[in-house]
Amino acid sequence: MSNESKYDQRPIQGLRKKLDEVDEELIKIIALRIEIIQKMGLLKKENNINVLQFERWNEVLQNRLDIGEHYKINPEFLTAVFKIIHDESLRIQKGIINNE
């Protein structure tokens, strides 16, 4: 007999439902971020601005790490998450600039 059948599943099912809801909100926020990135890509194209601005990226990352520290989020994890987000932002903006 597994451990799962020995206890009331309702509390964990309730937590799983909450995680599902949080994940959906996270996806909505990512979609909103992508919309903003697309607008930035258009502005950068119109104004001939480089897609990658190292100083801004370093400033953004440090700010997010500071916020994460307040919430006790592992900085290596947060760095990895924001690097993925940043890489996708660059990909989207480069596509806009190159008419892809």
Are the C-beta atoms of 79 and 61 separated by less than 8 Å? yes
Whole-angstrom distance, CA of residue 98 vs CA of residue 53 = 17
Q: Which residues contact 92 (CB under 8 A, 6 or more apart)?
A: 34, 37, 38, 41
If one counts every other C-beta atom within 10 angstroms of the C-beta of residue 96, the result is 19
Which residue in the block uniquely carries the two structure tokens 């987000």? 85
pLDDT category of residue 1 using cuts at 50, 70 and 90? very low
pLDDT above 90: percentage of residues in the chain: 87
The domain covering 9-97 belongs, at the CATH homologous superfamily level, to Chorismate mutase (1.20.59.10)
pTM (two decimals)? 0.84
pLDDT above 70: percentage of residues in the chain: 95
